[in-house]
Structure 1
Amino acid sequence: MRVLGIETPPARNECFDLLELFLFVSPGQSATPTPRGLALALDLPPPATIEADFLHTLLNALLLRLRSARETPAGATMRIFLPVLSAAGWIWTATVEEALGPGPANQPALDAVRIWRRLPKWEDEAPRPPPSSFPVTSAEARARLAALLGPEAETRPGQADFASVAAGAFDPRRTVGSPHLVLAEAGTGTGKTLGYVAPASLWAERNGGTVWISTYTRHLQRQIEQELTRLHPDPAARRNAVVVRKGRENYLCLLNMEDAVNTAASRGDSSGPALIALALLARWAEISSDGDLLGGDLPGWFGELFGAGTVFAVADRRGECIHGACPHYQRCFVEHTIRRARVADLVIANHALVMAQAAWTASSPDDVPEEDAPPTRYVFDEGHHLPDAADGAFALVLSGLQTAELRRWLLGAEGSRSRARGIARRLEDLVATFPALDPPLNAVLQAARALPAPGWSSRLRAPDAEQAHVDGLPANPAEAFLAALKHQLDAREATRAASPHRGTDSECDLHPADPSLADAAEAFSRALNRLTTPLETLIQRLHDQLEDDAENLDSAARSRIEGAIRALRRRALNRVQGWIALLDSTAVPPEPGERPVHVDFIRAERLPGRGPFGGEHDIGLHRHWLDPTLPFAAVMRAPAHGLLITSATLRDQPGRDQPGETGTESEEAAWAAAETRLGATHFPAPAIRAALMSPFDYARQTRAYVIADLPRDDLPALAGAYRDLFLAAGGGALGLFTAISRLRAVHARIAGPLDEAGLPLYAQHVDAMDNATLIDIFRTEIDSCLLGTDAMRDGVDVPGEALRMVVFERTPWPRADILHRERRLHLSHGQPGAYDDRLARMKLRQAFGRLIRKTSDRGVFVMLDRRMPSRLAAAFPKGVTLRRMGISEAIADIRDFLDSAAPDTISPSRKANFP
C-alpha cells in the first residue's frame, strides 16, 4: 500500500490481490508473499528496486500461465471452479475467464468445492515384513554421501566424518532394551542433514525398513524434506520413499470441509468471502501432495488473506475425528499419509509425535496393529530440544479446558453450533450391530456430566465465585475442584511474570494442599472412577466383538472397531486414569529432603489467540517429570535398535577450559553434562560421542557486542537501539526478545522509521503469517528485518546477506518459575548458578549460530543487556571476542565491519551508503 500511495486499504471486492490469483493459478507452489517472492516463483528476474508498475509484470506472467493451460487437463480442472467463484463474487473471475475460457455450463456451483467426491481412495496392502539388520559401514556411508553431493559440490570439512559416525546408529542391536546411542555434535556448516541421510537411506534400502528422522518444528521438517531432493530428484520417487508425518490436527479434514461448505451454502448471498476461501482451499487440496495445512504445501499466508479461523475450521483441532465411521475415511489425507509411511524409507516427523507414538506403543501394545509396529531406527535432529519436547510430551495437565474438552468429546456439542458428535454418534453403527455396547455407553454418558459444563470458565471468573467457594462447593465435582484450585492460587500466588509464550501466567505450589482442595480432589476422583469403569467395560466388549465375530467381520468393520478402541483409550481412558492418580496424590505431600520424581503445581493462564483455544482462560493442576528424559528413555529402549541424537549445540562450552581444569577434563565434563541433560545416562549402553567442528572462521566473519550504556527498563531507549542498529546494518537483521509484550512495543515504535528508510519490518506475534512464511519473507527480502522469540532463535537457516545482524534484547536466563526452581535445586549437582548459566549459554549459542551459514557470510551479534555476565561469553565460538561499548561506538564499529565485506556479498541497500 505504501508503494501504491494508498492510505486506506480497499474492501476485498474492490482489490485485485495478486496472491489470490497466484493461489488459483499455481496452488501448492511455494511463493514468498512479496513482489520479489512472486517474481521468483514465476521465474521472473526481479529488479533491484521494485516499483508499483512491476505488479503489472507479475499479472501478465500469471495470465500467460492461464492462457498456456487453456487446452490442457489443468485448464479443464481450473474451469470447474469458475461457477462457484463467480457466484461468490470473486473479483478475478472475469479476468480468468477471458484468459482460460468460461466454466462449464449447467454445473451446480458447489460441485467444485466438494472435493471429497474426487480425491483418490487408499487401499489396504499386506503388512511390510520386519526389516533385516545388516549394518552400514563407515566407508559405505561416505560413498553414499559423495553420491548425494555430486562431483561439483562444495567440500565441507567434517561432513564425511559425521556420516561415518552416524553409521554407528545402524549397527545390529546386541541386547534387548539396549539400543546403540550416538551423540554427534556437528557445528554449524558441517552439513549434518545429508551426513545422516547418507547412512539412514542406505540402511533403509538394504534392510527393507523405515528410519524415522525427527526434528523440533514443522518448519524444520520442511527444511529436511527439501534437502532430500538430492536423494530423490524425481518427485514421484521421492513421494514413495519419503513421507512427512505430523499430528492429525495439521491436515485438512474432509468432514470439516464438507460442514464448512454446507454452512456457507446455507447462508446464501452473505457467504461470498467464505466461499471464495473454500473454493481456493479446494483448488489447493485437489493437487496437494498430502493435505498438510500447516507447514505443508498450502502457502502459510493463506490464513492472513482469509483469516486463521478459516484454516483452523477445516482441521481436526479438537480431536473429533470419527475414523472408520467417517464417510470420507478412504479419501482422508491423514490415512493416506499413515499408509504411505508404513512402506517409506524415510519418515520425517517431529519430537512430540515420535514420543507420543512410542508412549502409546509402550502403554497399549495389544492395541497397536501389526502394520503400525514402531520403527527400530531413529535420528533426532535438533537434539538439544529433546528435554523440552519430552517435558511437553510426558507432562500431565488436569485443567478446565482439558476436562471440558473430554466432556465435549464424550457428549458432543451441548447447545452450540459445533459438529462435535460425541461417542454416541460415533459408535451408533456399532451399537446397532452389537447391542451389548449400549449399557456401558449409557453409563459413560451419564458419568461424563461430572466434567465441566459449557460456560465453566465464566462461572469460575464471576465476581461471586470466591463467595460461592466459601458458602459451599458447586454441585459439579469438576467445577468444584477448579474453584478450589483458584482459591488456593489466589491465596498463595507467588509468580506473575510475562512469559514469551503464554502471556501473563500465575502459579503456586500444590503442596501443602489446602484442606478444601484436598476434599474437592477426593470428590472429583470418585466421579472420575465412575467414568473409568464403564469406559473399561466398553473397550473390553469391543475387544470381545473382534474375537467372537472374527469370521464374520470384514476388514472395514474390523478397522472400524480397532479405531474405536484406540480412540477410547487415547482420548478418554488413559487420560482419566492419569488424572485420578494425580488427584489421589493431592493430599499426600512429598517426603522432606527426598528428590521428587514429579513436580506438581497450580497454574492459571490465558492461552494465545490462534488455535481452537485462543484467548481462553484456563486453570489447572500440572504434573511434570523432574527429569523428563527418564520417561523418554523408558519408552524408547524397547523398540529402538539405534538412535542418533545430533545438533550443533549438544554440549555447553565445547573446547573451553573451566577454571582449574585441563582441556581434557573440561571436555569430559561437558560431555557428561550433555549426556545427563539428554537422558543418555538412562540407556544401558554407553553413548558413542563425536564432535565435528564448524568450518567457519568466526574470528574473521563475526563480531559480538554488549551495549554498555543502554538503560535496562527504558522502552524508548530499547526501541531506539533496535532502530539505529537495524539502520546501521541496512536491514538483514533479526531481533530476538524474551517477552512478547516488549517485542510488540518495540515493533510499534520502529516499524514507521524503518519503513521510511526502505527496510520492511516483520514480526512474530504481530503479523498473522506463520513462522515459516515470515522466515521465507526474511530470506527473500534481503534488506528486511524480523522480530521474534524462541522459535526464531533455533533452526532458522538464512544464509548470505539476508541475515547479517542478530540483536538480543535481554540475557536469555531460564524463566524463574516453580518447575525451573525444582530442577535447579535437584539437577544442578549443588551448583544452581552454573545450571542457570548453562541454559543461558545454550540459547546464546543457538542465536549466534543463525549468523554464519556459508564461508562468505559476515555477521554481528549484539546484546542490549549491559548486565550480561562476561562468563557467558564462553557461549561464542573460539576466536570471537565480546566487545563492551556504548551504542554509538558499537554502531560505528558495526558499519565499518559490514562495509569491509567483499563487494559482491553486500546488499544493494548497504552499497547505496558507500561514498
Structure 2
Amino acid sequence: MSVSHGPGSVSFPEWPALAAGTGLAVVLTADGEVLQLDSREAAKLLDSSEPPLLIHAPAIWRRLGLRAMPAYDLLELFAFVRPAKPAVPTARGLAQTLDLPLVGQGLENAASSLPNLALALLEELTRDAGLPASRDLPALARRMGEAGWLWAPLVLAALDRGGAIPPPAKDGNAFRVWRRLPEWEEGAPPPEPSSLPVSPVEARTRLARLVGEDAETRQGQADYASAAAAAFTPREVAGAPNIVLAEAGTGTGKTLGYVAPASLWAERNHAPVWISTYTRHLQRQVESELERLFPDPKERHRRVVLRKGRENYLCLLNMEDAVTAVLVGSNPALTVPLGLIARWASVTSDGDILGGDLPGWFIEIFGAPLLGSLADRRGECLYAACSHWKRCFVEHGIRRAREADLVVANHALVLTQAAWGGLDDNYVPTRYVFDEGHHIFDAADAAFSAELSGREAAELRRWLLGAEGMRSRGKGLTSRIGDLVGERADLMAPLDAALMAARSLPAPGWGSRLTHDTPSPDETPAEPVAANPSETFLVALRTQVLARLSGRGGEDEARAGFAAECDLHPTSEDVVGAAETLKRALMRIAEPLTNLRARLLARLDEEADELDQATRARIEGMGRTIARRALEPLKAWIAMLAELIEPPAVSDTFRGHVQFLRLDRSEGHVRDVALLRHWLDPTLPFATTLAAPAHGLLITSATLRDGGEDDPERAWTEAEARVGANHLALPAIRASLPSPFDYAARTRAFVINDVDTGDPASLAAAYRTLFLSSGGGGLGLFTAIGRLRSVHRRIAPALEQAGLPLYAQHIDAMNNSTLVDIFRAEENSCLLGTDAMRDGVDVPGNALRLVVFERVPWPRPDILHRERRIHLSGGAPKEFDDRIARLRLRQAFGRLIRRVDDRGVFVLLDRRTPTRLLSAFPPGVAVERVGLAEAAATTREFLGPQGQE
C-alpha cells in the first residue's frame, strides 16, 4: 500500500505482525509467512526486523517475557482515530468495533488480521480529514512524530490524502484543548424538592414503558418495582426515613425495576435521586440501562450524571503544566500520550480519565503515573483561583448533578461525602438507591476508618509545605491561599504557625529512615535539634510489630513480603512515650489551622458587600478543603493517640472502635507502618450520617440474606444489621423476589473430593482439566494471589496449545476492566482472578460457562475480623464465619447464570468444604461430591457442543 503525502508518497511499512500467548509468538512476516516461535526465537527475529505491528504492547512483552521494544501498537492508532470510543483490545474486538468481518479464533488468525485493521483505521482518517473535528490532527500528529511516534508518517499521509490543512511549523495549540472546551454558567440554587409520592401502580406503568410493549412480561420485575416505590413515599418524622430492603435474584431486572419509581419521583419532585453502586464498572452498567429511559443522547446527558471522586477526572491545570513541559522541550517523553489525551479531552462526555470513556487499556500502555499526574490530585484543587475553573470537568459534573433526574455514583464517593457532612456543593440528597447493597458494610468500613501511617502523614506534610525541593506543582498551602491571606496579620499568624508545626510530620526520605531506625531531626532552628516526632513514633510502632509477630521470628516474617498485624494493647512504653510527643505536635498543627479556617470563612460575612463571586467560591472551597484534607485526619489521629495513651478499661464488653498496628512490606523491606482505627460496626456511622437524615432509601442486592439460615426472620434480621437498618427509627420494609432462572436444569455444581489444593501441581492440574473439559469459557477464582500465579504458570502453555487463551489478574499487564472485556468478547478464553472477579464480573452468554473456586472463601482471620466476630456475632462466632463464606459463595455462583438461556457448571475444589455451607446455592441446585475425572466428564457432557464451539 502507498498513500499520497505531498509530492511524494509513503509506503505502508513491510512490518511483521505479532500475536502472542504465554511464551508463544505467532509472527506474520513481511512476505506472508506465518511463524510459530518461542520467546527466544521471537526476540531474535524482532531484533533484526522492522518494529512489529501488534495490539497492546505491554501485554505482548509481558506474555513473551521480553523487554519492551518499539512497535506499531494498533491501540495507539485507534485512540488517535476514535477517541473516547470503547474497543476490546484484541483483534476480534477491534474488528467488531470497526464493523469488519470477525477474526477467527487463534493466534494465527489474530496476527494475519492486523494489517487489515491498520488499513481500516488509516482509511477512516482519510475519510474524516476534512471535517471540523479533524482540524487539529495534522498538528498533533506532527508533534507526536517529532517525539518518535511511529504512526505519525502514516497518519499525516492519510490526512493529506483526505485534504487536511497542513499544520503551522510551530503550532502547539492542538495540545491546548482547554481553550476549546465549553464553560459552565452559574444558575440559581435549586429549590427544595417536594414530597409527592410514587404509587406502586405508577411504578409498574413506568416500568412497562421502559421495557417496551413487545418485551416479555416479568412478574417478578413488576413486583420489585412496586416494592421499590415504598422508598419514594413522603417521610413522616424527621430522622425516620422510609427504608426498603429488596433482595432480587439474578435475572429479576432490578436496575429497571428501581429506575421506574426513581425516575418518576425525580420528575415529579424536581430533585435528583442518587443511585449508588459498588464499583465504577457497575456505574457504567447502570448508565447503559438508562438508554431505555432517555434514548436521545443529549437528553440523557442532561438528565443523567455519573459522579465519582475528584481524583477520577482530568485536571486541566495539570494538563496545562504537562503540555507546557512538552512544548518547551523539558519532557518530550509525554508528547505522544498527551497528544492522545488531547484528542480524547476534546470529545469526552465527562472528563473521567479513570474508568470513563478513556479506554481502560490507555493506562496500561502509558502507565498509571501519567494519568495519576493528570488527574485531580487529592487536596490540590484551587477552585475559583484556577484559570480553568469555568471549564473544569468536575465543576461541570457538580452543576449538572443539581439539575439531573438521576445521579449514578458509587458507594465510596457517597459514603466519603457523608463522612464529610455533604457533597462538594454542600448538597445533601434526600433519596438514595444502593445497588449491590451487600457491600455497604465494607464501603462504610473504608469510609469511616482512619489511618495514621508514614504515607498519610507525609502526604499531609507535602500538602501543607509543598514539594520541599522536589519538582511538583504542589507548592503548599501558602501558594493556594496566599492572595486570600494577603497582609492580614490575623490570617498570616495562624498560617505561619501551622506551617512551622507541620515540620513534625515525616520529612522527605522518611521511608528509608524507617527501615534503618534513624528518624530525621526536626527541621526547626532551635538547638539542640530534636528527632522528628512522627518518625520516632513510626519507628516505635515498627519495633512493637516485629517483636510481637507470631511464628518463627518476627524479623523473618517481616522479610516474607506481606503485611503483618499485631494488637496495639498492651502498648510498649516506647510507643506510649512517642505517642504523647506526637499528639502534642499534631495539636500544634490543628489549632492554628482551625483558627485560619474560621477567620477565612468569617470574611464571607465581614466583607459580604466587597467580595466578588469567584473570591467567595474560593473561600468556601478552601474552607472545605482545609477541613477535609487536614483538620479531619488530624482530629482522627489525635483521638487515636489519646486512646493509645489512655486505653479503655479491659472490662468494657463493647467498644465502638478497634485499633491495631499494621506493617507493610515489599520484597523483604518495610515500606510503612500504621496505626489503624475501624468501627466495629461501620453501619452505625452510615446510619447516623447518611441514612437517618435521608427521606427514603432502597437497599437492594441479589445476596442480602444468608440463604443457609433456617429461620427466615433471623435471616432478615441479620441482613438488616449488615446494612445498618437496625439503627434506624422505622423498621425496614422487606421484599424478596426470586430469580426466574431454572437453576436445577441450567446448572451443575460439584465439590471435588480427590484434589489436594495444598499441592500446587495438583491444583493446577485440576484447573487445566476442568477448563479443557468446558472448551474454555472458564472463570477461575482464588483466595490467594500466590496460588493464582502458581496455577497460571503451570497451565497457560497447555491451554494455549488447545486454543484457549488464558488471562489473569495480577499477571497480565491489564486492569480488571480490560480483562473482563476480553473475556466477554473471546468466547473460548479463560480468566483467573481473586475477589474483584468474584463480585464484579457480568458476562452473560456462552463466554462464561464454568466457574472454578479453589477454596472455601473464609473471612481472613485478621485482628479486625477477630474483634467483629466477638462483638457482632451474637455469641455465635462460628455461624458468623459461615455466614460470610456462604454469601461469598452465593456471589461467585451468581456470576454463572446471567440470562435465561445460559447454562454452566460451578466447581469448588476444596474437599474440606463443610456441608452446612452448601445451602448457599439456589434452591434446586444439587451439589455433588465427586472426583475430578467425573466432574470433568459431566462438565463436558452437560455443556455439550456449546462448550466445544
Shorter-chain-normalised TM-score: which range? over 0.9
SS of corresponding position for 2:655 = coil
- For 1:41, give the aligned amino acid: T
2:690 corresponds in structure 1 to 636
User: Which residue, 674, 681, 687 being the options, matches 2:719?
Assistant: 674
SS of corresponding position for 1:281 = helix
Pair 1:15-2:74 in alignment: no
- For 2:114, give the aligned amino acid: L
Query: Does the 8 Å contact 1:607/1:618 carry over to 2?
Result: no
Query: Does the 8 Å contact 2:751/2:929 carry over to 1?
Result: yes
Query: Does the 8 Å contact 1:145/1:194 carry over to 2?
Result: yes
Report matched runs for 1:255-270 at 5 Å: 255-267=317-329
Pair 1:816-2:878 in alignment: no
- For 2:843, give the aligned amino acid: V
User: Which residue, 477, 482, 496 being the options, matches 1:442?
Assistant: 496
1:109 is displaced (CA, Å) by 4.2
5+ unaligned residues in a row in structure 1: which ranges? 363-367, 467-471, 610-614, 659-665
Distance 1:431 1:843 in 2: 53
Query: Does the 8 Å contact 1:355/1:393 carry over to 2?
Result: yes
2:649 corresponds in structure 1 to 591
1:435 is displaced (CA, Å) by 5.0
Report matched runs for 1:20-31 at 5 Å: 20-31=76-87
Distance 1:608 1:570 in 2: 34
Instruction: Give the aligned CA root-mean-square deviation in angstroms.
Output: 2.4
1:245 corresponds in structure 2 to 307
Distance 2:635 2:666 in 1: 25
Query: Does the 8 Å contact 2:753/2:931 carry over to 1?
Result: yes
2:61 corresponds in structure 1 to none
1:892 is displaced (CA, Å) by 1.0
After TM superposition, the structure 1 stretch with the greater mean CA deviation from structure 2, 169-178 or 588-597, is 588-597
After TM superposition, the structure 1 stretch with the greater mean CA deviation from structure 2, 763-772 or 24-33, is 763-772
1:542 is displaced (CA, Å) by 0.4
SS of corresponding position for 1:243 = strand
2:545 corresponds in structure 1 to 489
SS of corresponding position for 2:421 = helix
Distance 2:379 2:610 in 1: 30
1:795 is displaced (CA, Å) by 3.4
5+ unaligned residues in a row in structure 2: which ranges? 1-18, 20-24, 28-34, 53-67, 521-527
Report matched runs for 1:566-581 at 5 Å: 566-581=624-639
Distance 1:895 1:149 in 2: 36
- For 1:542, give the aligned amino acid: L
After TM superposition, the structure 1 stretch with the greater mean CA deviation from structure 2, 676-685 or 686-695, is 676-685
Report matched runs for 1:821-860 at 5 Å: 821-860=866-905
After TM superposition, the structure 1 stretch with the greater mean CA deviation from structure 2, 256-265 or 523-532, is 256-265
1:3 corresponds in structure 2 to 26
Distance 1:697 1:868 in 2: 25
2:90 corresponds in structure 1 to 34
CA change 1:874–1:445 in 2 (3 A) is same
1:273 is displaced (CA, Å) by 4.5
User: C-alpha deviations, 1:174-223, integer Å up to 9, x for none?
Assistant: 00010000000000000000100011011101110110000111111111
Report matched runs for 1:903-914 at 5 Å: 906=946, 910-911=948-949
Distance 2:343 2:925 in 1: 51
Distance 2:876 2:473 in 1: 54
Distance 1:828 1:86 in 2: 63
User: Which residue, 913, 925, 933 being the options, matches 1:868?
Assistant: 913
Pair 1:737-2:807 in alignment: no
CA change 1:407–1:295 in 2 (3 A) is same
2:661 corresponds in structure 1 to 602
1:299 corresponds in structure 2 to 359
- For 1:414, give the aligned amino acid: E
The number of equivalent residue pairs is: 876
Pair 1:113-2:158 in alignment: no
1:275 corresponds in structure 2 to 335
1:517 corresponds in structure 2 to 575
User: Which residue, 536, 548, 558 being the options, matches 2:616?
Assistant: 558
User: Which residue, 222, 239, 245 being the options, matches 1:177?
Assistant: 239
SS of corresponding position for 2:357 = coil
1:663 corresponds in structure 2 to none
2:844 corresponds in structure 1 to 799
1:494 is displaced (CA, Å) by 3.9
Distance 2:806 2:386 in 1: 45
User: Which residue, 797, 810, 819 being the options, matches 1:765?
Assistant: 810
CA change 1:473–1:175 in 2 (3 A) is farther
1:475 corresponds in structure 2 to 531
> Among the aligned pairs, what percent are the same residue?
58
What TM-score does the superposition give when structure 2 sets the normalisation length? 0.89
CA change 1:497–1:395 in 2 (3 A) is farther
Distance 1:273 1:751 in 2: 35
1:73 is displaced (CA, Å) by 1.3
Distance 2:434 2:691 in 1: 15
SS of corresponding position for 2:693 = coil
Pair 1:140-2:185 in alignment: no
Query: Does the 8 Å contact 2:510/2:519 carry over to 1?
Result: no
2:218 corresponds in structure 1 to 156
SS of corresponding position for 2:478 = helix
Query: Does the 8 Å contact 2:311/2:375 carry over to 1?
Result: yes
SS of corresponding position for 1:704 = strand
Distance 2:709 2:593 in 1: 58
SS of corresponding position for 1:556 = helix
- For 1:418, give the aligned amino acid: S
SS of corresponding position for 1:214 = strand
Distance 2:492 2:317 in 1: 26
1:667 is displaced (CA, Å) by 1.0
CA change 1:266–1:713 in 2 (3 A) is farther
- For 1:94, give the aligned amino acid: P
Distance 2:473 2:874 in 1: 52
Query: Does the 8 Å contact 2:91/2:103 carry over to 1?
Result: no
2:929 corresponds in structure 1 to 884
SS of corresponding position for 2:562 = strand
Distance 1:43 1:204 in 2: 38
Distance 1:167 1:608 in 2: 53
- For 1:185, give the aligned amino acid: E
SS of corresponding position for 1:853 = coil
Query: Does the 8 Å contact 1:13/1:89 carry over to 2?
Result: no
SS of corresponding position for 1:800 = coil
1:645 is displaced (CA, Å) by 0.2
Pair 1:412-2:466 in alignment: yes
After TM superposition, the structure 1 stretch with the greater mean CA deviation from structure 2, 332-341 or 689-698, is 332-341
Report matched runs for 1:19-418 at 5 Å: 19-49=75-105, 50-101=109-160, 104-267=166-329, 273-361=333-421, 372-418=426-472
1:645 corresponds in structure 2 to 699
SS of corresponding position for 1:141 = helix
- For 1:229, give the aligned amino acid: E
Distance 1:503 1:640 in 2: 45
1:392 is displaced (CA, Å) by 0.5
Query: Does the 8 Å contact 1:497/1:506 carry over to 2?
Result: no
SS of corresponding position for 2:111 = coil
- For 1:346, give the aligned amino acid: L
Distance 1:753 1:463 in 2: 49
CA change 1:586–1:64 in 2 (3 A) is same
1:85 is displaced (CA, Å) by 2.0
User: C-alpha deviations, 1:108-129, integer Å up to 9, x for none?
Assistant: 2432112222222222111111
1:365 corresponds in structure 2 to none
- For 1:313, give the aligned amino acid: S
After TM superposition, the structure 1 stretch with the greater mean CA deviation from structure 2, 46-55 or 65-74, is 46-55
Pair 1:533-2:591 in alignment: yes
- For 2:661, give the aligned amino acid: I
- For 1:459, give the aligned amino acid: R
SS of corresponding position for 2:644 = coil
Query: Does the 8 Å contact 2:781/2:851 carry over to 1?
Result: yes
CA change 1:633–1:710 in 2 (3 A) is same
What TM-score does the superposition give when structure 1 sets the normalisation length? 0.92
Distance 1:338 1:152 in 2: 37
1:45 is displaced (CA, Å) by 3.3
CA change 1:356–1:607 in 2 (3 A) is farther
1:508 is displaced (CA, Å) by 0.8
CA change 1:602–1:415 in 2 (3 A) is same
